[in-house]
């Protein structure tokens, strides 16, 4: 089965200025098979909109053809900020000693696995994790972590001390990104993988970016990524079951024991 046709109900994620953007070719108008809750119209939002515009839509993917793009997602190893819960977007931190050990454990876990495509975020923590596998990765700027803007380096507790009702998934970050902005990036990554004909891909990257990517792969709004916890140096797999995109495994850490 191939992820070569997706259908889309509602409007696409807004641009950084809040203006609608063109739909990728794999996002189509609503077709039969899209399920809406009773009393809800296509595109109705579930919560308040983001500062920069949001994907107030319900997405339903359909898989056709002869193959599915199976994704293996490896989050980078520990950094000093991930250990303390500080939001790390564009700050380019190296791995800690523990993070380096985690990266080596990931490499052992992946031994014997083959992938048609291997992509890494350009951030040092992701590149170092990828390098530990001994494989050759292409760097993809679209896999960088969400830009936390004015909240870079702060913990959630610190942010809510200033803004008690803040919720990253619905409010975004001042001078940074919203999850809808990230969705635009990962949608493009998924589209490129589909068009390349790859049957499997290994991606090394970051928590919020991968959580949004998982939601989009599964046909959900970007905000649904809030339901997927993702710890450092864990492995996750997305694939297909009975012609539906599914979570094969998520946030596994048995290789770190």
- Scan for tokens 């979570």, then name that residue: 247
Residue 86 zone, left/alpha/beta (φ > 0; ψ -120 to 50; rest) = beta
Class in CATH terms, 2-10+67-256: alpha beta
Q: How far apart are CA 216 and CA 178, in angstroms?
A: 15
User: Tens place of pLDDT for every residue, the chain, 257 residues?
Assistant: 333 333 322 333 333 333 333 333 333 333 333 332 333 333 333 333 334 444 434 343 434 444 589 999 999 999 999 999 999 999 999 999 999 999 999 999 999 999 999 999 999 999 999 999 999 999 999 999 999 999 999 999 999 999 999 999 999 999 999 999 999 999 999 999 999 999 999 999 999 999 999 999 999 999 999 999 999 999 999 999 988 999 999 999 999 98
Q: How far apart are CA 204 and CA 72, in angstroms?
A: 9
- Scan for tokens 């495509």, then name that residue: 117
This prediction's pTM: 0.78
Continuous H helices in the chain: 80-84, 97-110, 124-131, 156-162, 168-171, 179-196, 207-217
Catalytic machinery residues: 76, 145
Q: How far apart are CA 91 and CA 60, in angstroms?
A: 35
Q: How far apart are CA 111 and CA 116, in angstroms?
A: 15
């Amino acid at each position: 089965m191939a992820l070569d046709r997706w259908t889309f109900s509602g409007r696409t994620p807004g641009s950084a200025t809040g203006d609608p953007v063109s739909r990728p070719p794999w996002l189509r108008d609503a077709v039969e098979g899209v399920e809406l809750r009773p009393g809800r119209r296509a595109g109705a939002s579930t919560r308040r909109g983001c500062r920069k515009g949001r994907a107030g839509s319900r997405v339903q993917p359909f898989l056709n053809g002869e193959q599915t793009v199976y994704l293996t997602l490896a989050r980078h190893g520990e950094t000093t900020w991930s250990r303390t819960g500080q939001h790390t977007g564009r700050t380019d931190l190296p791995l800690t000693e523990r993070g380096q050990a985690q990266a080596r454990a990931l490499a052992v876990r992946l031994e014997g696995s083959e992938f048609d495509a291997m992509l890494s975020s350009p951030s040092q923590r992701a590149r170092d994790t990828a390098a530990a596998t001994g494989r050759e990765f292409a760097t993809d700027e679209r896999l960088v972590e969400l830009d936390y803007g004015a909240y870079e380096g702060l913990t959630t507790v610190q942010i809510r001390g200033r803004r008690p009702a803040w919720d990253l998934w619905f409010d975004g970050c001042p001078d940074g990104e919203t999850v809808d902005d990230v969705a635009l990036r990962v949608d493009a990554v998924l589209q490129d993988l589909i068009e390349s004909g790859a049957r499997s891909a290994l991606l090394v990257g970051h928590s919020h970016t991968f959580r949004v990517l998982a939601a989009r792969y599964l046909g959900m709004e970007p905000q649904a990524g809030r339901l997927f916890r993702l710890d450092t140096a864990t492995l996750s797999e997305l694939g297909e079951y009975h012609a539906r995109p599914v979570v094969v495994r998520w946030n596994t850490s048995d290789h770190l024991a």
